[in-house]
Amino acid sequence: MSLDLSGFLDYLSYEKRYSPHTIAGYRRDLEGFVAFLRDHDVDDFGDVTPTLVRQFITRKHAAGLSGKSLQRLLSSIRGLFRLLLRDGRVKMNPASEIRAPKVEKRLPRSLEIEQVERLLDIPADTPLAARDLAIMELFYSSGLRLAEIAALDLHDIDLASALVQVTGKGSRQRVVPVGGKAIAALRNWLKHRPALASAGETALFVNNRGARLGHRSIQRRLEHWAREQGLDQHVHPHRLRHAFATHLLQSSGDIRAVQELLGHASISTTQIYTHLDFQHLAQAYDKAHPRARRKK
Give catalytic residue positions.
145, 169, 238, 241, 264, 273
**DSSP tag of 229:** T
For residue 236, CA distances in Å to 22, 240, 271 come to: 20, 7, 20
Q: What residues contact 131, with CB distance under 8 A and at least 6 apart?
A: 189, 192, 193, 196, 205, 206, 213
Encode 106-166 in three state secondary structure.
CCCCCCCHHHHHHHHCCCCCCHHHHHHHHHHHHHHHHCCCHHHHHHCEHHHEECCCCEEEE
List of E strands, the chain: 157-158, 163-167, 173-177
Say if strands 157-158 and 163-167 run parallel, antiparallel, or are unpaired.
antiparallel
Helices (H) and strands (E) in the chain, counts: 13, 3
Phi/psi class of residue 255: alpha, beta or left (left: φ > 0; alpha: ψ in -120 to 50)? Answer: alpha
